Structure 1
Amino acid sequence: MLNQYFGNARYRSVLVTLLVLLIVQTAAAHEYWIESSNFFLRISEVSSVRLFVGEALISETEMPFQASKTNSFQMFSPNGAFDMRTLAEDDRKPIVNFSADRSGTYVLAMERGWSYITLDADKFEDYLTEEGMDYVITERARLGEAKKQGRERYSRYLKTMIQVGVNRTGNAKARYGGRLEIVALDNPYNKKVGDTMQFQVFFGGAPLASKAVFADNRDGDTVSTRKMVSDKDGKVEVKVDGKGIWLIRLVYMQRCSKSCGDADWESFWGALTFGVK
């Protein structure tokens, strides 16, 4: 079939255009999130836990577990913490198969180490605008860097919540100490469609105020996104208006206060996923 397409100039043009669009979309799709094949498990039932990169819960690529890039990967249960790196295998997809022999809400938290990227000034500003980081655009203008390449290093702080059995446990609302952390102030598994949930964002242990926070919801093929701004206490409120998977996410960026190698800015990407039915 591909040979037939390449034999026709018109189809060659269409195919090249589609490939270019795919490359552009993949380059722009830079969010990571952890997704369980099932967020509602019976005791001892197994779920595949996967790491995706994409945009607004639309996956472009599934990532394997990368030991060299993973600073920590922990499970927080009603009974304590467990280092998931002892179970995860390097270069494996899914990153882990999860099951639990006790009822409760389980939190999996992963921290990925620094990566580096350099973008042309226009692309960097587009990215800052898309992620709600106008304060960085303002700071670059103040520093006379608006036309300068954006040199950035970034790290990721990813969490997912999985409900096992019927007991909704308080550890779902706990803070686990990530440098950037999104905390659910309500256990999402106590919520249903139509309810409201609160989340609080922390950076370096302090509430992160006046920053853009996004909530994505995917139910089958339907995806919706809304943007909020954290209040003075780092809190946002989200109406749970759909079932399926939810992703609460934000990016926080700051000027490097000390040498960052080949970067002038450092960003911290937070993501929290859970299910609603």
Structure 2
Amino acid sequence: MKNRYAAALLMAFTVIIPSSARAHEYWLEPDRFFLRVNENSPVSLFLGQGLRVEESRPFQPAKTTSFQLLSASGNFDLSGSVKEGDAPLFSFSADRQGNYLLSMERNLTYITLSAEKFEEYLREDGMEYVIAERERLGETGKPGKERYTRYIKSLIQVGDRRDRTYARKVGHKLEIVPVENPYSKRIGDTLPLVILFNGRPLAGRTVFVDNRDGVQHMSQSLSSDENGRIDIKLDKKGVWLVRLVFMQRCEKYCEGADWESFWSAFSFGSR
């Protein structure tokens, strides 16, 4: 591969989600999603909420299980090319047209929240099913002991040529995969995506969709259908982020955690 790297549905409901003061989303975002051949764009790992950036996070090898770039030419391991502490993470460029898919997996993190804060978090991220299960187990008043993993992807378009890299499944435990190429869409088109857990469609779960067009922000929530599918109306240009959290009872090697959550985020651009 001759890519060049500088510094190496049926919708159940749609509602507008108010902005949250609690910033906890991670997503990958290049300065520009649409590039010319050999044009450079810094790529950042952002922390924030609803595409409102609170912090640019540095590269942390100890917390990064994998960081790779996928294209029609093959896969490239970025983890050896990015230096610890770098923010932005690196500067991307490619000498061939096509789709380029960035993929990052961060390793397990353990947290404990008070019962009140845990329930607030569950409601905020559409996990009322966990609230119901805690009530069934008699744990409503107990602290929430959780471990979580993040799975983060971002799709970049170089030149005008399209390929099927957008549809690549990277094997994340919780993964968001476009059914059609986001960069074949125009403003006003609908983009279908499928939510997979352990490679199988995840039905009936809340999926959040954020858009940032300059200083304008929009967020909405959808529900995946029986095939794990959602349909997004691409009615705005700018940056798009599709994200969800799925939680289940921790079953083994829990190290004190009662619950295990999986965070998935997929970003792309529209113009």
In the alignment, which residue of structure 2 is the partner of 1:175? 169
Q: Say yes or no: does 1:86 pair with 2:51.
A: no
1:110 and 1:92 map into 2 onto residues whose CA distance is 15
Confirm or deny that 1:45 pairs with 2:39: yes
Residue type at the aligned position of 1:73: F
Which residue in the other structure is 1:273 paired with? Answer: 267
Distance in 1 between the 2:89 and 2:130 partners?
A: 34
Deviation at 1:144, TM superposition (A): 0.2
Name the aligned partner's letter for residue 192 of structure 2: Q
Taking the aligned partners of 1:72 and 1:254, their CA distance within structure 2 comes to 23
2:242 to 237, 248, 256: 248
Give distance in 2, aligned partners of 1:259 and 1:80. Answer: 34
Q: Does 1:136 align with 2:137?
A: no
Amino acid at match of 1:177: G
C-alpha separation in 2, matches of 1:245 and 1:218: 5
1:54 alignment partner, one of 32, 45, 48: 48
CA separation in 1, counterparts of 2:180 and 2:219? Answer: 20
Runs of 4+ residues over 4 Å off in structure 1 = none
State the match for 1:225 in structure 2.
219
Alpha-carbon shift at residue 172 of structure 1 (Å): 0.8
Matched, 1:215 2:215: no
Q: Which whole-Å CA distance do the structure 1 matches of 2:83 and 2:266 have between them?
A: 23
Q: Which amino acid is 1:125 matched to? A: E
- Partners of 1:259 and 1:169 lie apart in 2 by 40
Structure 1, unaligned stretches of length 5 or more? Answer: 1-23
Q: Give the equivalent residue in structure 1 for 2:3.
A: none
CA distance in 2, matches of 1:192, 1:115: 39
Q: Percent identity?
A: 51
Following the alignment from structure 2 to structure 1, what is the Cα–Cα distance between the partners of residues 262 and 99?
Answer: 26
Bigger CA radius of gyration: 1
1:164 is matched with: 158
Query: 2:253 maps to which residue?
Result: 259
Bigger shift: 165-174 or 98-107? Answer: 165-174
Secondary structure of residue in 2 paired with 1:135: helix
| 1:259 Cα deviation from its structure 2 partner | 3.2
Per-residue CA distance 1:13-44 (angstroms, 9 max, x = gap): xxxxxxxxxxx93xx21010000000000001
Between the aligned partners of 1:192 and 1:264, the Cα distance in structure 2 is 44
Match of 2:107 among 108, 113, 123: 113
Partner of 2:145, secondary structure, is: strand
Equivalent residue, structure 2, for 1:34: 28
Deviations, residues 207-226 of structure 1 (Å, cap 9, x unaligned): 11110001100001100011
Q: Give the one of 145, 149, 155 matched to 1:155.
A: 149
Q: How many residues align?
A: 252
- Distance, in Å, in 1 between the alignment partners of 2:152 and 2:82 is 16
What runs of 5+ residues in structure 2 fail to find an aligned partner? 1-19
- Provide the rounded CA distance (Å) in 2 between the counterparts of 1:97 and 1:260: 37
Cα distance in structure 1, aligned partners of 2:65 and 2:187:
35
3-state SS of paired residue (1:125): helix
Tell me which of the two structures has the higher relative contact order, counting C-alpha pairs closer than 8 angstroms and 6 or more residues apart.
2
Q: Greater helix share, 1 or 2?
A: 1
Q: CA deviation at 1:262?
A: 2.9
Cα distance in 1 for residues equivalent to 2:241 and 2:88: 19
Counterpart CA distance in 1 for 2:198 and 2:79 is 24
How far apart in 1 are the matches of 2:241 and 2:61? 24
SS at match of 1:122: helix
